Structure 1
Amino acid sequence: MRYGLLFCLIGLAPPLAAEQAAVPETTRVLPPATALPTYQVLRTDAGIAIDGRLAETDWQKTPPIDFITPWNDTARDGAQSTVARLLWDDDNLYIIYECVDPYLDSEVVAHDGPVYAEDAVEIFATPNPDDVGTYFGYEMNINGALLDYIAFGGGEEWTPNIFFAWQSEGVQIATSYDGTLNDHVDTDRGWILEIAIPLDNFRHVGGRIPPRDGDTWRAALNRTAGHQGQYGLWSDTRTPKAAFHHA
């Protein structure tokens, strides 16, 4: 592995109406503003098998991103930890999420279905750091169902225009889980989702594809936890309620 492709993670806009309806009516005291977190994405030359497991040596050597849960008062049974790792090569952006979860919820199987309403992970990303108002969204659940789109717009208090008709190409998703889906009688342990996104999907919004060492992208990594009222993310959107699309 070698270093390259610096990501600066940031939330991007208020939530979509469907997402907002699922958020419990609770608020938080906002912390002081801090600098945006950054993450240096390592380049892999070994290739990653998309199998929903943290098996490759490159994954095990990759520094983790620990999510925060700033809306903890909305959580059932306490905050659940989430860890993500990212790698890249000339063809793909690779992401793996590890989610602790005592109650696994995943029913959506259709493409572009409402995966955000259950256990799901997300990435919003753009290779153009000068235009955070235009970005690509990928939202995935335990079943491996994918909701993908392009969002257009800009500013702190806006609902972006979402182009759901856009379809990404060549995306690979695999998951694994320890527990029983949609059965809250038992206690589960968690799940893993692994995704490879061909870099060609990020063309046409500026930025270099494939990137070069030292390039900066803007991105956000998020997690929802279905009926449990859990919302985790890396870069704090500093909103009273969960709002993953907030700038």
Structure 2
Amino acid sequence: MNYSGVPEPGIEVQPKHYICRRASGKLKLDGRLDKPFWEKAEWTEDFVDIEGELKPRPPKRTRVKMLWDDDYFYVGAELEEDEIWATLTERDSVIFHDNDFEIFIDPDGDTHNYYEFEINAWNTVWDLLLPKPYRDGGPAINGWDIHGLETAVYIEGEINNPSADNRKWSLEVAMPWSSLKECAPEGRGPRAGECWRVNFSRVEWHVEIKDGQYVKRLDPATGKPLPEENWVWSPMGIINMHYPELWGYVMFADHEQAEFALPPDEGIKRLLRKVYYRQRNYYAEHGVFSDRLDILLGEAEKGWDDGLLDLKLETTSSLFQVSARSSDGRSRVCIREDGKLWTEQEGARE
């Protein structure tokens, strides 16, 4: 198999985190976030450009609230917008061809088997399962659905009417754990204190008004629509949402005093991920994987060779695995050529 190169993020990514409180009461979805159900949920920080500090802050505000209970993961989003439009009305259309809001969820943080959800202002949704990121050869499974999904959209203005007093659109999503547990650890929903990797994205197209309708603005040089803007909760440092290792952390809490704690071994996982990026890029250039860590890791990753991590690299002509001692010293954290990341006991093999 030939492995493609994998671009590294253009910034040192520091994923955002959010403490997701328990919901009280039943949510009656209408797309509005000004009702008592959402009062105990804090807003996330305002969205930034997908490339983070490499680009200016978005001119339109986007923010999210989250809650959970034994049955659902609840997401509420508010999108400031003076150009409210949508065209797609059939489920599982490619929703990001419209302005949209997107949710990405990787329950166990291994970057494989994760969910993507998109919704437009018509309340049309696209939900899919990805066995692997596209960079690792993973096809999207469009036929997969979040059974029991509930959604609603509220529009402060009027859809597809440029002359309306358009201010924002907001949405509510209730995703049942009965569907999300499919790719979760132990095949269950989260427990208090656990973190899932999550990110949110907003796609915003450049439009103009012609004959009283919104149309995508074209690039005069190509005759094609101008590239869309991508605004996110946790910046990626690269124009690609399918880097699950860069998503934020959502910690599920069951009491008001809960404080966020970064899951153990996350620093080790980031170091191993850098080896993965560089092995893939080395292969793309040389046709083989490197068998030398000192070629893949340098001064920018100081301390990798101090012996505490006990880094081990194993390679063949078309495969590699690199592992490090876990922070508790009882197991090893591993990653391989297709980006799969896992923890195993010493001497074991997945």
TM-score (norm 2): 0.56
Structure with larger Rg:
2
| Compared CA separation, residues 150 and 70, structure 1 to 2 (3 A) | closer
| Residue of structure 2 in register with 1:172 after alignment | 150
Gaps of 5+ in 2: 1-5, 208-227, 245-350
Deviation digits for residues 20-50 of structure 1, max 9, x if unmatched? xxxxxxxxxx763132111111111312111
Which of 190-199 and 217-226 deviates more? 217-226
Q: Report the equivalent of 1:102.
A: 82
Aligned amino acid, residue 35 of structure 2: E
User: Which structure's relative contact order is higher, taking Cα pairs within 8 Å and 6+ residues apart?
Assistant: 1
Helix, strand or coil at the partner of 1:61: coil
Amino acid across the alignment from 1:191: W
CA gap 1:236/1:159 in 2 versus in 1, 3 angstroms: farther
Question: Unaligned regions of 5+ residues in structure 1, if any?
Answer: 1-13, 15-29
Distance 1:133 1:79, change over 3 A: farther
Between stretches 226-235 and 215-224, larger displacement belongs to 226-235
Q: Is the 8 A contact 1:127 1:206 kept in 2?
A: yes
- Is the aligned partner of 1:233 residue 2:212? no
Seq. identity, % = 23
Partner of 1:43: 22
Q: How many residues align?
A: 213
Change in 2 beyond 3 A, CA 1:216/1:145: same
* Larger relative strand fraction: 1
For 2:288, the equivalent position in structure 1 comes to none
Alpha-carbon RMSD: 2.5
1:1-247 → structure 2 map (5 Å cutoff): 32-65=11-44, 66-70=46-50, 79-129=59-109, 131-154=110-133, 157-158=135-136, 160-186=138-164, 188-207=166-185, 209-228=188-207, 229-239=228-238, 242-247=239-244
Q: Shift in Å at residue 102 of structure 1?
A: 1.1
State the SS of the aligned residue for 1:84: strand
Shift of 1:181: 1.7
1:236 shift after superposition: 1.0
Q: Residues 97 and 79 from structure 1, CA distance in 2 versus in 1: closer, same or farther, beyond 3 angstroms?
A: same
Instruction: Output the amino acid matched with 2:195.
Output: T
Counterparts in 2 of 1:159 and 1:187: CA distance versus 1, 3 Å: farther
SS at match of 2:173: strand
| Structure 1 residue matching 2:96: 3-state secondary structure | helix
| The structure with more helix, counted as a fraction of residues | 2
- C-alpha deviation, 1:210, in angstroms: 2.8
Pairwise CA distance, 1:134: 1.7
Partners of 2:81 and 2:196 in 1: CA distance? 30
Amino acid at match of 1:169: H
